[in-house]
Amino acid sequence: MEAQVERSRDLAEGEVVSILDTSRPGCPLIRDTPLTGAIVWDRETLAPDDGQLHLDDDCLGEIDAFVEALRRNPLPTLLLTPGDHDMPRCRALMARARDILRDGVGFVILDRIPVQQYSQEECRAIYWMLGQMVARPVAQSFDGKMIYDVKDQGRAYSTSVRGDTTRKDQNFHTDNNYNLCPPHYVALFCLHPAMTGGINSIVSFYAVYNEMLRRHPIELVERLYRPFLANRQREHYPGDPMVLNRPLFTYDGDRLDCKLSRHQTLSGYHLAGQALDPLGLEALDALESIMAEARWNREFFFERGQIQIVDNRRCGHRRTGFVDYPEPERKRHLLRLWLRDTGRRSYHG
């Protein structure tokens, strides 16, 4: 469906903010019965080893051989493809990861790459190769950045500053929820953890959705299927709409997908000079209050060399605020990939 562009009122400084409307007209299909499957989990039902995968000696040997071949035959990282290297054990492991993401608990923690043995650029190459074995990497910014460095840049969190460039804590969210075609999977590779803090958590939106149905009237749940505004973080062509209008939940009769960020939602309304309706705020608060309960969270401290991959449409993730080491070379540093097998590889998909 062609997106409709609407105009909101002038801001105080005289700037007119346009809204990209991607919501579908008419009544959305709404899931009014509990969801089922392995993706519906909480702390009581999740086994300690659910989602855990380990790189065995054969996989590590393939990675060593890949790095040695790259040292002898250098290529830019973005030109590296799994088809050019013989890595069957790694392929099999990442195929298992893909199966867990699609049909299992919706997240994978891969343990671990011996990062101390490789240069930072070699670590990026290893990560790029393993990521492609799950799905196709896509651009993470309008200018086409494919491998994204997640680290504190000393910036204050604001409507135009991404939270991943700060040390601030985050609410549960889906990456790129304010874009036309968010990634299916989000992968994070820990090169250096924080000195303190930076605790990661994952939540199953399916389990939280079931709890929403149990606790709240269907009218509140239905509001999540109607449009909410979102700040697009100025990640678009100059002059294009700065705000996206989209529902938080969509259901196609089989699969429930979520696009969620409290910060981007509220800042979208602020940017457009509009107020979120009371029912919308109540629905957002109800969703947030359930996710804040420890029962629904899978929590872990990201250790050096670990890779986390999350289904970005059925699971949410967050991290607590953190304090860095004073030495620049020890500061918290993650590498991120966005993976999506549909649409174009460009930012908007």
Residue recorded with tokens 């790694």 = 90
Lowest-pLDDT range of 155-159, 190-194, 208-212 = 155-159
Q: What pLDDT digit, counting tens, does each position of 224-281 carry?
A: 999 999 999 999 999 999 999 999 999 999 999 999 999 999 999 999 999 999 999 9
Q: What pLDDT digit, counting tens, does each position of 81-96 carry?
A: 999 999 999 999 999 9
- Confidence at 24, pLDDT banded by 50, 70, 90: confident
- Confidence at 117, pLDDT banded by 50, 70, 90: very high
| pLDDT (average), residues 52-70 | 98
∠ CA(130), CA(131), CA(134), 5° rounding?
A: 100
Residues 6+ apart with CB under 8 A from 64: none
307-311 and 199-204 strand pairing? unpaired
Domain boundaries, the chain: 30-154+164-339
Q: Are 129 and 85 in contact (CB under 8 A)?
A: yes
CATH topology of domain 30-154+164-339: Double-stranded beta-helix (3.60.130)
Separation CA 39–CA 41 (nearest Å): 6
Residues 6+ apart with CB under 8 A from 224: 212, 247, 248, 249, 283, 287
Which two tokens mark 254?
């089989």
pLDDT value for 1 = 34
Burial zone of 140 (CB within 10 Å; 0-12 exposed, 13-18 middle, 19+ buried)? buried
Is the pLDDT score of 222 beyond 80? yes
Is the pLDDT score of 64 beyond 90? yes
Residues 6+ apart with CB under 8 A from 184: 135, 311, 312, 313, 339, 340, 341, 342
- Please tell me whether the peptide bond between 112 and the residue prior to it is cis, using omega within 30 degrees of 0: yes
Give this prediction's pTM: 0.92
pLDDT value for 16 = 53
Cβ neighbours, 10 Å, residue 300: 15
The 3 state secondary structure assigned to 45-63 is: CCCCCCCEEECCHHHHHHH
- The number of residues in the chain equals 349
Helix (H, G, I), strand (E, B) or coil at 117: helix
Separation CA 332–CA 346 (nearest Å): 28
Backbone phi and psi for residue 264, each to the nearest 5 degrees, phi listed first: -70, -30
Q: Are 135 and 187 in contact (CB under 8 A)?
A: no
